Amino acid sequence: MKIYLFLLSIFFTAAAYGGNYADREEVKVFVKELAASESFNEKELLSVFAHAQYKQKIIDAISRPAERVLNWSRYQDIFLTERRVAGGIAFMRDHREALEAAERKYGVPPEIVTAIIGVETMYGSITGGYRVLDALSTLAFDYPPRSSFFRSELKQFILLVREERQMITNLTGSYAGAMGLGQFIPSSYRAYAVDFDGDGIRDIWNNPTDAIGSVANYLSRHGWLRDEKITLRVEAEGLPQNIFNASLKPSKSIRELVSLGLHEIPLQSDEMVSPMRLVGKSGDEFWLGLTNFYVITRYNHSRLYAMAVFQLSEDLRSGMLGLVSR
């Protein structure tokens, strides 16, 4: 028996959006393969793509990611603001029970979960205004550099819609198809999103408790180490420059760095780290990324992103401690 997408074409007409993807041969091949492998109705899948619209703005956006044009100083201006810290403290106060429950279960501190949600969506206030169907269709069929990846995500999205019983044409997200408070792409949503409040629905679009549990689960599943350090700032001006920013993954031992002239490091000699040089407000900053720093880069493959999360989390932790001490 065929399994149909939940509440789809009966409410919409192709003319409503002026879509043209359903007429393209590569889309028809995609639909045919998906219908055969996942027990969808082929005609109904085609009706979905009749609603999909090409968006040039999405192509423009993905062609200039922030990592290519911003340095650490600019990241600080964007993500380490009083407004973002205040919003994070309010979020932590409003969702204290869920954050504490997530820490107990997954080992991830409340300030780290909150900082990720704060960097991603300003605590749920900016989750993206593109229809996910449009974003993933545009990138799957009109962005050759990563078409294979986005076709896979488009498949995952269609499966997700069926599993979570959502209206496919209503869901919005980023230009890359990331969704909800934690900005999960469809494959991550299916793999790591959790029903953290036990209501039977994994909803990271509208349910902060599910979003909190899902972010913590994601980090835990990628190797987060409970109660361990994240990164450490060091004085390293005299070290060879080629050791910095060589890898996101910890690949240098403290013993090796000491042999090169790094001293007074409160870490075990066999601990592996990733040396970083960032251009900050006052010039070069030198940091050692540990395993938990690397885990944050599994959420977004950028050391600038991970450092923004870390430093925002430190501001949030200090802010919460200040409230407690009053």
Q: Report d(CA 306, CA 297) in Å as an integer.
A: 6
Alpha carbon distances (Å) from 179 to 57, 111, 204: 18, 21, 8
Question: Angle at Cα 212 formed by Cα 206 and Cα 214, nearest 5°?
Answer: 90
CB 67 within 8 A of CB 52: no
CB 121 within 8 A of CB 183: yes
What residues are labeled active site? 120
CB 214 within 8 A of CB 239: no
Cα 149 to chain centroid, rounded: 16
Alpha carbon distances (Å) from 45 to 130, 138, 179, 209, 249: 20, 16, 21, 32, 41
In this structure, is the dihedral angle defined by the CA atoms of residues 153, 158, 159 and 163, taken in order, positive or negative?
A: positive
Which residues sit opposite 275 in a β-bridge? 288
| Tokens, residue 305 | 């992103």
Which residues sit opposite 287 in a β-bridge? 233, 276
Hey, how many other C-beta atoms are within 10 angstroms of the C-beta on 308? 24
Identify the helix (H) or strand (E) that includes residue 59: helix 56-62
